[in-house]
Chain A
Amino acid sequence: MKKHLLQFIAAVMAFAFLALPASAQKGTYAITNAEVVTVSGSVISNGTVVVRDGLIEAVGSSVSIPADAKVIDAKGHKVYPGFFDTNTKLGLPSASPPTRNASGSRSGSISNYPPSLRAESDVLEKFEGTEAKFSSHRNAGFTTVVVGNSTGIFNGNSVVLNLAGENVSEMVVKAPFAHNIAFKTERGGVYPASLMGTFSAMRQMFHDAKRLDEIRKMYASNPKGIKRPEADATLDALIPVVRGEIPVVIFADTEREIIRALNITKEFNLKTIIAGARESGSLAEKLKAHNISVLLSVDFPMRKLAENKEADPEPLRTLRLRVEAPKAAAALKNAGVPFAFQSGGMKNIKDFVKNAAVATENGLSKEDAIGAMTISAAKILGVDAQLGSIEKGKIANLVVASGDILDKDSSITHVFVDGKLFEQPKKKKKPAKADGDGEAKEINAGGVWNVTVEPPGMSIPMTFNLTQSGDTITGTISSNMLGSATIRNGEVTEDGFAFDVTVTFQGTDLDLNVTGIINGDEVEGTVDTAQGPATFSGKRDPKN
């Protein structure tokens, strides 16, 4: 029968990969005198791992070192299989401000669906970058990642990549891996604009995909008397999903989101993996009963706000959640739910392994924590035959660390991806305040920001023209609908800017309190009015 488009691409990719000559940089290495954490078997206390042509040629305590091997003496060091981050957006363009597109149709595309429902969206088409771009992940020990989108509802496929290679063809391990589903809504007043609509739209499209599959079969066997089934790339992409041929990764953090995911899974007999799963601990038994795997985010929630006696106390449920979240891994383990860790979009990838260690302080064994970054991940991704453990013949993704990786004093000295050695950058002398978390960022709020403000059901383009001077911000805002106005009380905040401004809307003065959070040249934030708040997001104009 017809190969699905994605599978076809995957086959081409795989072919391309196999056909490539081994990279010239992939040499032969022997890591010696190391404690080898094979993951698949027992720990080899004084072992050697031989790497050749991208694969593990040998591993053991009495392995002879090939004459052509470059020897890495790893005495006192540990060797791990390369780590997996099972959910990233690496190499994907950052979400641009949503464009209003009522019909949703793209020229040249066979689809009538709005952006958030474009199931045919192919992550490899959007992926950009070479190994050089992913050094922070790799330096933190991550050699294999899943790349996929989760900004819409049907987000298209995700892929498994190794973080080495000069082009995407060299990086692909498995494509597609799964279809990404998130319980998001369409923006700009287009259906589905509510969470209810999200589920209704999904249902309708699953039914439509099933029907299309059925009609295609009928038509293929005998087209006479049947109206030619319409070409629909979006529904075509969902056919393997409703057939259960490709897993779906459903993003769900709260208990109720996870239960919603289980319900839709049951209704359409999906092959579901839950991603995020922050509150999955209390549902572990249920997940087990439904035979669900989990890509658990280790971006554990932490309090971000400073202390103040007069401030409202944080909700108890927030306090509880922060304490409970790191316990989810152990709960899943105890219930027998297969799970792997993922970064969950954390700001500093170095926190990944740190937080894996936190999970071990909350009931998870160290072995299982390592497993959740290696073999358990490989199994869920369906790549355990070639990745996830240190075994002869498997892909040479390796991490060499100065000690137990879960010990905060250890550091990573070498990373191999596809047999290619990546040396760790020399540790810079730590300035007085180093190391990611809690550090005060230098905020640059000046410039022309083109943003889109989104009151419910609307989308208003607006420009902030800001000048920063120390902690003070001055400037103007302008918009076609609201005219322009000079800002007041402008100031630099911990992570962006805040100002007040009064605009005239249909003859009425509106006081706006604007708060923005800056991330590089992107900003998102809130416009607070007496009528209620609206969110905005946008970018700094590079021309100004």
Chain B
Amino acid sequence: MNKAIRSTVLFALVLSFAAIGVAQRTSGDVLIRNATVMTASSGTKTNTDVLISNGKIARIGKNLKAGNAKEIDATGKYVIPGIIDAHSHAMLDAVNEFTYAVTSMARIRDVLDPTDVTIYRALAGGVTAANLMHGSANPIGGQNTVVKFRYGRSADEMVFEKAPPGIKFAMGENVKRARNIPGVPRRYPASRMGTLEVMRDAFVRAKDYKKSWDNYRAGKTRVPPKKSEELDPIVEILEGKRLVHAHGYRSDEHLNLMRLADEFGFKISTLQHGLEAYKIAPEIKKYGAGVSIFVDFWGYKMEAYDTIPYNAYILWKNGVVVSINSDSGERIRRLNLDAAKTMKYGGVPEQEALKMITLNAAIQLGVDKYTGSIDVGKDADIGIWSGHPFSVYSHAEMTLVDGEVFFDRSKDIAMRKELEEERKRLEAMEPNLPPAKRGKKKKPEAKSEEKAKTPKREAGGVQ
């Protein structure tokens, strides 16, 4: 009960598929038959079958034997890897802990809302996984969580456990603007200068902190140091155990951050937004960071004024791993079209464009061993599209996560009537009646086993 509406759809899906063995938890085999398969790793294969077994891609080829697998006829349709959104704030009950300049102790994992309908709408746009991040109010923000969109399950069951931990950094306008409240002293930092100093200070503190623990563990001190929820993740960054996703717009910010990272001996994993990254593409390539961008969303604030839709192309041409993110519960539904635009703006090749919403995002999140392309052995995170996924005229028909169908357009349409009927049924029940009508009617349906015992409550309440 109590899940968002679509969980009912899923529940029905699970039920209806259970009989034929598809949506059993990652156990049933599925054969997607005769599709145009865009692998994102090894080109496009026409008239090709994909066999899914135990939630993994088991075979890719022509005329595969179905065995016990449930067959999905994909003739005339396209199969692509599930889209991965490398920057999202979907399914969160909180996004920013803006109070401090460093909030590395904040964990996105604590505030997941698995009932957020955004998840379902994203599935309907072919998205199977997302990097859920803390907002950009702080130079060092909270810890992110990578999830798979197993909608209808609990938050714990959506977490992509194999994804390495990460953290959000941020620079620029949002950081400066945070807590700019009339009549209240502004929070430090209020400039790009201060932003970097806050970071520097945090890393100095983290190094001292680590040293105090090293001393304690070596028996040099008797009293255990204070355990710091704030500094532990920063120590993990220094130890290379935590990926840094650094929000920034201006090219100088990226360069300064990379320099700071070099100074302290850690690595920036992904430049988030990187709207001006094209200006310094060779430097980014040399440094080895990925960039996660919008394709053509721009001009909404000063630091977004210099971006260009050719950003993806220039970065790609320089050999930088580029992903395209949504950062939005709306845009997440049409990342396929954002990828298509990179072919227009500059001329990114088709497979490279596809990688920007699949494999490259997986690389940036450290999960490319498991997902991001249609390859044997990977998780069966797959979208089946009515036509070429880059065409405006196409829509996602089915979205599978670990081989389970979490979105099926035909089932979705079929369920609409049932949901309306459920609504009517529920609206007629006592607790859902408007106050004026409550207590007047006989209860519409008492449970049969309770009926004999409970003939009495209908007269309660207002006369």
Where the two chains meet, the residues of A that have a C-beta atom closer than 8 Å to any C-beta of B are 189-201, 203-204, 207-208, 211, 214-215, 218, 225-227, 254-256, 259-260, 263, 279, 281-282, 300-307, 313-317, 319-326, 354, 357-358, 360-363, 407-409, 433, 435, 437-439, 457-458, 481, 506
Tell whether, in the assembled complex, residue A314 and residue B432 are in contact, meaning their CB atoms are under 8 Å apart. Answer: yes
26 residue pairs from A and B, CB less than 8 Å apart: A189-B179, A189-B184, A194-B111, A196-B134, A197-B94, A208-B226, A226-B222, A255-B115, A256-B113, A282-B1, A300-B431, A301-B431, A303-B431, A316-B8, A316-B423, A319-B426, A319-B432, A320-B2, A322-B431, A322-B432, A361-B454, A363-B447, A409-B456, A437-B461, A438-B438, A458-B184
Using Cβ atoms and an 8 Å threshold, which residues of chain B touch A361? Answer: 446-447, 450, 454, 457
Residue B262 CB within 8 A of the other chain: no
Using Cβ atoms and an 8 Å threshold, which residues of chain B touch A282? Answer: 1-2
In the complex, which range does the number of interface residues on chain B fall in? Answer: 35 or more
Which has the most chain A C-beta neighbours within 10 Å: B110, B181, B463?
A: B110
Tell whether, in the assembled complex, residue B447 and residue A195 are in contact, meaning their CB atoms are under 8 Å apart. Answer: no
Shortest CB-to-CB span from A307 to chain B, Å, is 4
Which of the residues B97, B179, B429 comes within 8 Å of A200, measured between beta carbons? B97
Residue B224 CB within 8 A of the other chain: yes
Closest to B157 in A: A259
Which of the residues A255, A263, A315, A360 comes within 8 Å of B5, measured between beta carbons? A315
**Contacts A301-B431, A302-B438 given; does A195 touch B222 at CB 8 Å:** no
**Bitwise interface map of B from 424 to 463 toward A, beta carbon under 8 Å scored 1, else 0:** 0011010111111110000000110010011011011111
Which of the residues B93, B99, B224 comes within 8 Å of A211, measured between beta carbons? B224
Find residues 132-190 in chain B having any chain A CB closer than 8 Å to their own CB.
134, 142, 154-156, 179, 181-184
Using Cβ atoms and an 8 Å threshold, which residues of chain A touch B463? Answer: 433, 435
Q: How far is the CA of A223 from the CA of B269 in the complex (A)?
A: 47
> Mostly helix, strand, loop or mixed at chain B's interface?
loop
Residue B413 CB within 8 A of the other chain: no
Closest to B8 in A: A316
Shortest CB-to-CB span from B347 to chain A, Å, is 42
Tell whether, in the assembled complex, residue B110 and residue A256 are in contact, meaning their CB atoms are under 8 Å apart. Answer: no
Tell whether, in the assembled complex, residue A218 and residue B223 are in contact, meaning their CB atoms are under 8 Å apart. Answer: yes
Residue B259 CB within 8 A of the other chain: no
Tell whether, in the assembled complex, residue B462 and residue A207 are in contact, meaning their CB atoms are under 8 Å apart. Answer: no
Using Cβ atoms and an 8 Å threshold, which residues of chain A touch B450? Answer: 360-363
Tell whether, in the assembled complex, residue A199 and residue B436 are in contact, meaning their CB atoms are under 8 Å apart. Answer: no
Tell whether, in the assembled complex, residue A218 and residue B4 are in contact, meaning their CB atoms are under 8 Å apart. Answer: no
Using Cβ atoms and an 8 Å threshold, which residues of chain A touch B460? Answer: 354, 408
Tell whether, in the assembled complex, residue A225 and residue B462 are in contact, meaning their CB atoms are under 8 Å apart. Answer: no
Q: How far is the CA of A458 from the CA of B179 in the complex (A)?
A: 9
Q: At the interface with chain A, which of B101-109, B195-203, B312-320, B352-360?
A: B101-109
Q: How far is the CA of A249 from the CA of B422 in the complex (A)?
A: 36
Q: How far is the CA of A94 from the CA of B353 in the complex (A)?
A: 59
Shortest CB-to-CB span from B81 to chain A, Å, is 29
**Contacts A303-B432, A317-B115, A323-B429 given; does A259 touch B156 at CB 8 Å:** yes
Shortest CB-to-CB span from B204 to chain A, Å, is 20
Q: How far is the CA of A499 from the CA of B196 in the complex (A)?
A: 47
Using Cβ atoms and an 8 Å threshold, which residues of chain B touch A506? Answer: 182
Tell whether, in the assembled complex, residue B435 and residue A306 are in contact, meaning their CB atoms are under 8 Å apart. Answer: yes
Tell whether, in the assembled complex, residue A211 and residue B227 are in contact, meaning their CB atoms are under 8 Å apart. Answer: yes
**Contacts A200-B105, A314-B432, A408-B457 given; does A481 touch B183 at CB 8 Å:** yes
